[in-house]
């Protein structure tokens, strides 16, 4: 489905890359594979957000260097590092640089799939928190009357009922309602209600 998160697999080893792509696809993840970190970085502007699985040791741009470049671009997609046993100190350095996990080769399929699910869940939670914070910022910009009108709208009340309860005329309620929609950047009433639900603790 369009908009679903993508798992981006980066490995210069064709066989390893193909095997991991097959494993993830078989588990119903959307997957895109890259033979180098450069190819992935060049693709970022046009691709779907998600998590990244990268080998530590690759020519030109290593897994560690990739983490640095993502951070420099302020791209906070979760990164899982695949490492050989001898690369564990490097993998620990990757964790310190922002990777969410490292997995040693040869990896267990269930361990890999669990790590990917964790990474995508973490990203989804972070996105929800960012969205909630933005909605709360918009709510804080409303006047007291606008907040009252918004609360009634979220309860499914009509303008005449809101006007009666607040002791205001319908035209005033219409003005407040239009202002609420504009300040909240809501496309319609259902969009406004969804934002209210997301902002709730």
pLDDT tier at 2 (50, 70, 90 boundaries)? Answer: very low
Residues 31-78 have pLDDT tens digits of 999 999 999 999 998 888 889 999 988 988 999 999 999 999 988 899
β-pairing verdict for 79-83 and 50-55: parallel
Residue 9: which of 79, 61, 60, 114 has the closest Cα?
A: 79
* pLDDT value, residue 195: 83
* pLDDT above 70: residue 183: yes
Q: Which two tokens stand for residue 39?
A: 């190819």
In the chain, CATH 3.40.50.2300 sits at: 6-127
pLDDT of residue 193: 82
Picking from 196, 159, 161, the residue whose alpha carbon sits closest to that of residue 178 is: 159
pLDDT of residue 1: 34
**DSSP string spanning 106-165?**
SPPHHHHHHHHHHHHHHHHHHHHHHHHHHHHHHHHTS-HHHHHHHHHHHTT--HHHHHHH
Inter-helix orientation angle 14-26/109-140, to 10°: 70
Task: Specify the CATH class of 6-127 in words.
Answer: alpha beta
Pick the CATH number of 141-199 from 3.30.70.1450, 1.10.10.10, 3.30.230.70, 3.90.1150.10: 1.10.10.10
| Residue 18 pLDDT exceeds 90 | yes
Residues 98-135 have pLDDT tens digits of: 898 989 888 899 999 999 999 998 877 777 787 888 88
Task: Tell me the whole-structure pTM to 2 decimals.
Answer: 0.67
In the chain, ranges of CATH 1.10.10.10 domains: 141-199
């Amino acid at each position: 489905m369009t908009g679903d998160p993508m798992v981006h697999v980066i490995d210069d080893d064709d066989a390893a890359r193909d095997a991991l792509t097959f494993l993830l696809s078989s588990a119903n993840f959307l997957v895109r594979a890259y033979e180098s970190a450069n190819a992935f970085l060049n693709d970022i502007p046009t691709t779907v957000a998600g998590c990244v699985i990268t080998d530590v040791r690759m020519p030109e741009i290593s897994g560690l260097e990739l983490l640095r470049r993502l951070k420099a671009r302020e791209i906070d997609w979760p990164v899982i590092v695949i490492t050989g046993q001898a690369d564990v100190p490097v993998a620990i350095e990757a964790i310190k640089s922002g990777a969410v996990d490292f997995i040693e080769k040869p990896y267990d399929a269930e361990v890999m799939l669990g790590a990917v699910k964790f990474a995508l869940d973490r990203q989804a939670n972070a996105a929800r928190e960012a969205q909630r914070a933005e909605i709360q910022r918009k709510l804080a910009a409303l006047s007291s009357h606008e907040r009252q009108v918004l609360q009634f709208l979220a309860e499914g009340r009509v303008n005449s009922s809101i006007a009666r309860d607040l002791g205001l005329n319908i035209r005033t309620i219409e003005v407040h309602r239009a202002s609420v929609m504009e300040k909240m950047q809501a496309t319609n009433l259902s969009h406004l209600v969804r934002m209210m639900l997301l902002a709730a603790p």
